[in-house]
A = this chain, B = another copy of it.
Amino acid sequence: MQQRSEETRSRILEAAVKQFAVNGYGKASVDNICEQAGVSKGAFYHHFQTKQDVFLALLDGWLQIFDQAVEASKDQPVPETFQQMTDYFPYIFESASDNLPMFLEFLLQASRDDKVWQASIAPYRRYHKHFASLIKKGIAEGSFVEVDPNLAARLIVSAAMGLLLQSLLDPQGAKWDKVARETVQLMMNSLVREEN
């Protein structure tokens, strides 16, 4: 029965995400994680080789939220694709408020640790490429004006990262999912070709 094993593993992950969120990666100690999970250190190191492994496992799971939003509603006119993406914003911003500190610390690690850097740079480049080709498609189908797809994609990714950061920095500063939706609107206004 690997039931118990799975249970323990997921309890460690749950506890880790809490500890990382509250204390950050550096301050979240394995001991605390174990305590919160109601599990011994032996169990912890039975399931994960290092603390960093736990972190990468969590990261992997979190990125799937974005993939979900990005992959959603394909095979439609491009403007609609962008529009539908905004449906995920409330969920994204909610999950960000819990996970972004951890995410930031992960970026920090990324700039210094090659293993983590690979795990971070890959999805980031994926998003950039995805938006660039979306825009290219939009131009091809005639719904977008002719901009540099790469440049516009950078703007989109930048705005997304920036908005997420701001939502962390100043949670009360605005209704961030609303701001994000309106930002998409604003960017769309300058991208969508006028009907005529």
Contact = CB atoms under 8 A, between A and B. Distances in A.
Interface of A: 23-24, 26, 101, 104-105, 107-108, 110-112, 120-121, 124-125, 147-148, 151-152, 154-155, 157-163, 165-166, 168-170, 173-174, 179, 182-183, 186-187, 189-190
Contacts of A120: 169
Contact of A112 (B24, B166, B187): B24
Contacts of A187: 155, 190
Given A166-B161, A174-B154, A147 B186 contact: yes
A169 B107 contact: yes
A26 B160 CA distance: 27
Interface of chain A: mostly helix, strand, loop or mixed: helix
A105 B107 CA distance: 10
Q: How many copies does the complex hold?
A: 2
Nearest to A26: B26
Shortest 7 CB-CB distances between A and B: which pairs?
A158-B162, A190-B190, A162-B162, A161-B162, A26-B26, A158-B163, A158-B159
9 contacts: A23-B112, A26-B26, A101-B111, A107-B165, A124-B169, A148-B182, A157-B166, A158-B165, A159-B162
Contacts of A183: 151, 154-155, 158
Contacts of A173: 125
B121 A169 contact: yes
A111 B23 CA distance: 10
Contacts of A169: 107, 110-111, 120-121, 124
